[in-house]
Structure 1
Amino acid sequence: MTALTFAAAQTIVATAHDHARTQNLKPLAFVVLDAGGHLVAAGREDGATFFRTEIAKAKATCALGMGVDTAVTAERAKGNPTFYAGIVTTLGGDVVFSPGGVLIHDADGVVIGAVGVSGDTGEADAACANVGIKAAGLIGSN
């Protein structure tokens, strides 16, 4: 298993940020957690509201805790809203079922962390996360 390094997390944040600017996205926040849910790196663009960092962290936490990207949990929640509302309540609101939380895998397919991005559409947030993960030489979603 490869450990998620601070350098890799910084690359993820910086590259996700650069991608967001080339796409003219709304101001974003980025959070990278290791497999244990510990903060490794974070950033908030100028103009991003102060909630964005917490939402990004909740997306990354959700991906880790559920074992799938938040785009998957968002779809699953549509079919079982009571169960997913119960998860949010049980976890004190620290998870978000919206695209933009992406698991980070090493070359062996082991989950070594997650990225949460918040500020634009969920799909745009997830795209930024995946660009950053790839730039760090790691594997995100397909």
Structure 2
Amino acid sequence: MSLSLDTCRSLAHAALATGREKGMKPLGVVIVDARGAVRLTLVEDGNAPLRADIAHGKAFGCVMVGVGGRALERMAKERPHFIGALGGLTKDRLTPVPGGVLIRDAGGAILGAVGISGDTSDNDEVCALAGIAAVGLKADTGA
């Protein structure tokens, strides 16, 4: 199974709707497939210019390392040299904080990841989880 464009659109729209319902700041959403290729980028009006890049780094880092954003954050604290090396290997396209969530199928295979940026990392993650749930896939935050 792969992430269809329709699935990506539905996921992103559900994530953004969650942000609006909860009164969050404007969000940027990036969804990548299991290879790290961008499938969809949506940025709300008023989202700060670098937020889409941050969202991409959250999603890209998750699929490249195979763990959710919370696991990457732990690694950054516990093994900063390792995360520094990964930053170099990924050409600084790795953002090791919550808000990056792996998207898995029912069997646990990684289909891709969603990265969201615009509010706090915890709130970004809430929106990612809502989007993934809305399309009936499994979320992996790395918690």
* Same fold? TM cut 0.5: yes
Paired residue type of 1:40: R
User: Stretches of 4+ moved more than 4 A in 1?
Assistant: none
Give the TM-score normalised by the residue count of structure 1: 0.95
Paired positions, count: 141
2:93 is matched with which residue?
94
User: Residues 25-56 of structure 1: CA distance to partner in whole angstroms, max 9, x if unpaired?
Assistant: 11110011111111111100110011111110
Say which SS state the counterpart of residue 95 (structure 1) adopts. coil
User: Residues 84-141 of structure 1: CA distance to partner in whole angstroms, max 9, x if unpaired?
Assistant: 1222123221110111110001111111110000111111111111100110111113
Which runs of structure 2 are paired with 1:1-142 in the superposition (5 Å)? Answer: 2-141=1-140
User: Residues 53-88 of structure 1: CA distance to partner in whole angstroms, max 9, x if unpaired?
Assistant: 111011100000111111111012111112212221
Kept in 1: contact 2:12–2:29 (CA 8 A): yes
Q: For the aligned residues, what is the CA RMSD?
A: 1.1
Kept in 1: contact 2:67–2:140 (CA 8 A): no
Paired residue type of 2:31: V
Paired residue type of 1:104: I
Say which SS state the counterpart of residue 140 (structure 1) adopts. strand
Give the TM-score normalised by the residue count of structure 2: 0.94
- CA distance, structure 1, for counterparts of residue 111 and residue 131 of structure 2: 15
- CA distance, structure 1, for counterparts of residue 133 and residue 99 of structure 2: 15
Unaligned runs of 5+ in 1: none
